[in-house]
Each structure stands twice: as structure tokens, then as C-alpha cells.
A and B are shown apart, each in its own frame.
Chain A
Amino acid sequence: MIALAALIRRDIRVALRVGGGALIGVLFFLTVVVLMPFAVGPDLALLKKLGPAILWLGALLASLLTLDRLFVADHEDGSLDVILTSRTPLELACAAKALAHWLATGLPLVVATPVLGLLLNLDGAATGAVALTLLAGTPALTFTGMIGAALAVTLRRGGLLLAVLVLPLSIPVLIFGVAASQAAIAGPLPFGTPFSILCALSLASLVIGPFAAAASLRHGLD
């Protein structure tokens, strides 16, 4: 337990200090959201319609691009070997690392959502709905992305292949996240239906992600 807490604290500290600091994920999120009106056109009504989708895509890409260093950085300086040979179960260590990553990267994205919602002409209720679905969905993105990050340790050129492997697993989360947001804003569907499926996806990934990541690390690293 103490070892896990120490691991979480270390990971959060490293994420906050290294590589541009905590806000680099938020900065990327902001960049993606700002790019959209250049591509789509400044029509405010259209941006309002696309708002939840743009926010979700930005969050997905920001999570994905910060994830590939999750295990590779530790592998390069040798701390991954220490984690592998320690007494804590590898599954719990992976879960702890993913939790730290979510706290340092995913949670700031959720906090940044109201500001970005203003840029996309979303009203208060819509922004609140998107923020809530992001809060429920970003753990799923982090924990399923961790599987790809663990696989990336065995590859020499991780990068794009990691994204290709992880994206099909993130698609259900994206679908239900946007569906829940749209349901809260306009749709005939009640908000609860897609939202509970989104929560279920997050809970399932909390279990499946660490086991799959631990298996990849164990088998791929000899």
C-alpha cells in the first residue's frame, strides 16, 4: 500500500515537473479546439452543434499523446525493472501509474472544459454535460491507453503504432461520451442511458487495463 502511494506521488510529481509541466496536455487540448474553427468555419451555430464532439476529440488526442511515455520513460532509466522485481503485484503498480497519469493529465482536461466550451459557443448546461461525461470517460481513455503504452515498451519505434492499436479500443468510449453529451443538450434519449454505459466502460477498463498492461510488460520485456 505504501509502495503504491509512493509510486502515485512520484508519478504525479514527475508529470507536473518534466516535459513542459502539468499544463502541456491542457495546452494541446486548447490547440486542437482552436484549430477546429479554422477547419470548420467560424459559424457559431455549427460550432455549437459540433461542440461536444470537438471537445471529446481534443481530450482523446491529448490523452493519447501523453500516454506513450508512460512506461517507456521508466524503461529508459531503469525504474521499470525496479517496479517489475518489487513485491507489489505488477497489476496494482500499473493501475497506480495509470491513476497518477489520470490525476495529472486527465483531470486538468476536465477542469479546462468550461473555458473551452465558451470558445465553442456552448451554453452552461451543455458545457456541464460535456465536463461530466469527460470526468466519467477520461479514466477509460487512460486505462485502455495504458495497454498500448505497455505494448509500446516492447517496440523500438512506438509512436504511431501505439495510436493505431489504442484507437479502436477508445472508440466505444468516444461514441458514448458524445452520445451522452448530445442527449443532455438536445436528444430524445435520456442522459442516463449512454452515461451509465460510459461509466460501465470506465469501470471495466479499470480492471482489464492493468491486467493486460501487466501481461504485456511481463511477457514482452525479456
Chain B
Amino acid sequence: MTLTDLANPSRFLALAGRILPWLIAATVLVLAIGLYQSATAPDDYQQGATVKIMFIHVPNAWLSMFVWGVMSVAALGTLVWRHPLADVAQKAAAPIGAAFTFLALVTGSLWGRPMWGTYWEWDARLTSVLILFLMYLGLMALWRAVDDPSRAARAAAVLTLVGAINIPIIKFSVDWWNTLHQPASVFRMGGSTLDRAFLIPLLVMAVGFTLLFLTLHIAAMRNEILRRRVRTLQMLQAGKPRTSA
């Protein structure tokens, strides 16, 4: 089934209905395994048990950037290929990405208090993730500011692509400015420096969170299509002449 077949919203709804139970099961399974591995991981020699916030904080942070990437691809789908469901995908992903970013900021802040002695620090990575969060919120506001969803889609698509420039800046900011946040230790040249006992649960949790995003995204797309159908029905109903009582 190609992407063009999925352009039909009804067919997409049918597919989503079939896939969703399996996705939910897979998400629950992988997250359960990941949480068990995180709970049984050894304590860090310096941080003690607090290191386990990492297993929630880092996947949230990775996903906050991944979701903007997904939205950028959807934005290209809207502007370049005029795929009918691309704007639905884009609109549905924005609140989910904002939630992941918010959770990354909050879990990081809670981790920072015992580790660094402060809830917040204006270093490069924290600041750029905060700006990413503001951009998610601005994008969500833009979607709601225009009544017609398809016009809003094109404006939001342009804003998404312009915002995509911010993502590499976040990734490499920790290399460019030597600051309080720990430098990259997983995705770097020369391989990961994280010990196997921590790396495996982290990657499992990352996969689990990605499945969680996929599940939420497809469910949200389904909701958005149904919402637009309700809106059309309401407009048709409003246009009908009233029969006398």
C-alpha cells in the first residue's frame, strides 16, 4: 500500500483502526521491558540511583527533536507534493511534540536539582530546548488562529520548515559551547562512551517512546480527520434552511 493509496482519508481510517491495537500492544510491551531494565540497572558510582531519571529524560529529549523532523517531512508533503493527509499529520504531531519537549524540560529540571544544585541554568542546550518548546507552542497557536484548516496548513508548513533549522543547533550546541550540560556521549564520533548496563535500557526506552509517539500520532490523525468531518457536517447543517416548527 503506497503513500498515494493512503491519501484517501477513509482508507487511512480503516488502516488506522486495524493497526492501532497492535501498536498499542507493542508500545506497552517495549515500555514495560524498558522500565524493568531501568529499574534493575546498577546505580551510578557518582550519582547513585538518581541516574535513572536519564532513562526517561533522554528519550523525551530525543523524541522532541524527532517529532519536529516528522513535522518537517509532513510540511514538505503539504507544500511540495500536496499530499492530502500531510497537513493532518502535521497538525496532529504538534501537541505530542510539545508534550515530549515539556517532559524533557521538567524531568531534566528535576534531575538538575540534586545533580547541579539548580532547577534551571541558562546554558546552550537548555535554552535551545526551551526555544524549541516556544516554537511548538507558537505553531499550535498558528494552527488555531486561522479558521480554514487547509489555509492554516500551508502557513504552518512554512513555519515548520523554517524552525527545522533550530534542530541541528540544539544537537551540536553542546559541542560548540562548553557548558554545564554533559557533552554528547551516545551519538558521537568514536562510538558511545556509555556503559553497556546503561546503554541497553536507554535504547529500549527510546524505542518504546518512539512506538508511543507512533501510536499517539496515528490516533491523533484519526481524531483530526473525524474532527474535520464534524466541522463540515456542522457547516452543512448551518446552511440548511430551517423548517417551520
A residues neighboring B (CB under 8 Å): 147, 151, 154-157, 161, 164-165, 167-169, 171-172, 208, 212, 215-216, 219-220, 222
Query: Chain B residues with Cβ under 8 A from A220's Cβ?
Result: 151, 154-155
Of A157, A167, A212, the residue contacting B162 (CB under 8 A) is A212
Q: Is the CB of B166 within 8 A of A168?
A: yes
Interface of A is mostly: helix
Query: Chain A residues with Cβ under 8 A from B131's Cβ?
Result: 168, 171
Of B137, B155, B161, B165, the residue contacting A151 (CB under 8 A) is B155
Q: How far is the CA of A166 from the CA of B192 in the complex (A)?
A: 37
Residue count of chain B within 8 Å CB distance of chain A: 23
Query: Chain A residues with Cβ under 8 A from B155's Cβ?
Result: 151, 154, 216, 219-220
Check B135 for interface membership: any CB of A closer than 8 A: yes
Q: How far is the CA of A157 from the CA of B146 in the complex (A)?
A: 9
Query: Chain A residues with Cβ under 8 A from B159's Cβ?
Result: 147, 151, 165
Q: Is the CB of A165 within 8 A of B142?
A: yes
Q: Is the CB of B142 within 8 A of A219?
A: no
With contact pairs A161-B142, A168-B166, A220-B151 given, residues A215 and B158 touching in the complex (Cβ less than 8 Å)? yes
Q: Is the CB of A161 within 8 A of B138?
A: yes
Q: How far is the CA of A178 from the CA of B95 in the complex (A)?
A: 33
Query: Chain A residues with Cβ under 8 A from B141's Cβ?
Result: 161, 164
Check B145 for interface membership: any CB of A closer than 8 A: yes
Query: Within the complex, what minimum Cβ distance (angstroms) separates B209 from chain A?
Result: 25
Q: Is the CB of A219 within 8 A of B138?
A: no
Q: How far is the CA of A219 from the CA of B146 in the complex (A)?
A: 13
Which residue of chain A has the shortest Cβ distance to B134 in the bound complex?
A168
For B152, B155, B157, which residue has the most chain A Cβ atoms within 10 angstroms?
Answer: B155
Query: Chain A residues with Cβ under 8 A from B134's Cβ?
Result: 164, 167-168
With contact pairs A165-B138, A171-B131, A220-B151 given, residues A147 and B166 touching in the complex (Cβ less than 8 Å)? no
Query: Chain A residues with Cβ under 8 A from B162's Cβ?
Result: 147, 169, 208, 212
Q: How far is the CA of A105 from the CA of B163 in the complex (A)?
A: 26
- For window 115-163 of B, CB contacts with A under 8 Å fall at 131, 134-135, 137-138, 141-142, 145-146, 151-152, 154-155, 157-159, 161-163
With contact pairs A168-B135, A171-B131 given, residues A212 and B158 touching in the complex (Cβ less than 8 Å)? yes
Query: Chain B residues with Cβ under 8 A from A208's Cβ?
Result: 162, 165
Query: Within the complex, what minimum Cβ distance (angstroms) separates B91 from chain A?
Result: 15
4 A-B pairs with the lowest CB-CB distances in the bound complex, closest first: A219-B154, A164-B138, A216-B158, A168-B131
Query: Chain B residues with Cβ under 8 A from A172's Cβ?
Result: 169
Query: Within the complex, what minimum Cβ distance (angstroms) separates B14 from chain A?
Result: 30
Q: Is the CB of A215 within 8 A of B79?
A: yes
With contact pairs A168-B131, A168-B134, A168-B163 given, residues A155 and B151 touching in the complex (Cβ less than 8 Å)? no
A and B contact pairs by CB, cutoff 8 A, 22 listed: A147-B159, A151-B142, A151-B159, A154-B151, A154-B152, A154-B155, A155-B142, A155-B145, A156-B145, A161-B141, A161-B142, A164-B137, A164-B138, A168-B135, A172-B169, A212-B158, A215-B154, A219-B154, A219-B158, A220-B151, A220-B155, A222-B151
Which residue of chain A has the shortest Cβ distance to B132 in the bound complex?
A168
Query: Chain A residues with Cβ under 8 A from B157's Cβ?
Result: 219
